[in-house]
Amino acid sequence: MKANVVHVQAPGWDQHRVVGAAAKEILWSLLDSCDYSVYPFGYESTFSTLKRGLRENERLKDNDIAQRIRSMPDFLVHHREELPQLVEVKFRKAQDHPNKIGLSNWEIGRYQKFWPETVLVVLSPFGDRFFAQYVKNLELEGNSYATTWLEYTHFSSISSVFPRTTGKLEPFHTGIDKLAGLWKKEKD
């Protein structure tokens, strides 16, 4: 007999936010374990008190400074032997388009405009699970409201950007695979 489950959604609860936070934590843990210094950089952490005002103030909607703040990458990553990198983290399951990564043109367009040197790191339950590409190298298709579907081959291994991660990715594969299965739709 299957128990009845009541799903209660707390105010502000957003599954995408939870998955995104978990993906950031997995990447942070990987980089930290490889002796990189990882600093929160994104506007969610750096400008958390401004977050609501930037979102709700109509005058700031199209302001370049507000857009630049709202599109800040997640991390600043550094190792004394390497150049610092700005990093944006995304998680993609790739279930609707196998072997492809879907990215919002609007979101990537903002990174290209304000933070072109940013490395986009995508975590996905596919291949080596960690994929990296500079946002300036992403070619978007369609208008700003479209989604661009890029082959995984358009991305490099994270080790090409963060060489100290070479040979150290596998212990993190299980976490990414479990993250992918968190909110699978139940079938009756």
Quick check: is 8 in a domain? Answer: no
The larger pLDDT score, comparing residue 18 to residue 140, is at 140
| Position 117 pLDDT exceeds 50 | yes
| pLDDT in the model for residue 188 | 33
Mean pLDDT across the stretch 64-76? 86
| Position 9 pLDDT exceeds 60 | no
CA dihedral over 133, 135, 136, 142, signed as positive or negative: positive
- Looking up tokens 């009541």 gives 6
Quick check: is 58 in a domain? Answer: yes
- Looking up tokens 């300036």 gives 136
Q: Which domain holds residue 133?
A: 15-180
Quick check: is 149 in a domain? Answer: yes
- CB contact at 8 A, 173 and 165: no
| pLDDT in the model for residue 66 | 78
Q: Give the confidence band of 42 by pLDDT, cuts at 50, 70, 90.
A: confident
Q: Give the confidence band of 33 by pLDDT, cuts at 50, 70, 90.
A: very high
Quick check: is 102 in a domain? Answer: yes
| pLDDT in the model for residue 37 | 97
CA–CA separation, 28 and 38 (whole Å): 7
Quick check: is 187 in a domain? Answer: no
Question: How far is CA 81 from each of CA 10, 78, 153, 163, 183, rounded to the nearest angstrom?
Answer: 45, 8, 28, 11, 40
| pLDDT in the model for residue 184 | 55
Q: Give the confidence band of 6 by pLDDT, cuts at 50, 70, 90.
A: very low
| pLDDT in the model for residue 63 | 77
Quick check: is 7 in a domain? Answer: no
Is residue 56 within a helix (H) or strand (E), and if so which, with residue range?
helix 48-56
Q: Which two tokens stand for residue 128?
A: 């080596």
pLDDT digits (tens, 9 = 90+) for 158-180: 999 999 999 999 999 999 999 88
| Position 55 pLDDT exceeds 50 | yes
| Position 137 pLDDT exceeds 90 | yes
Mean residue pLDDT of the chain comes to: 84
Number of domains composing the chain: 1
CATH for 38: 3.40.1350.10
The larger pLDDT score, comparing residue 54 to residue 100, is at 100
Quick check: is 72 in a domain? Answer: yes
Quick check: is 64 in a domain? Answer: yes
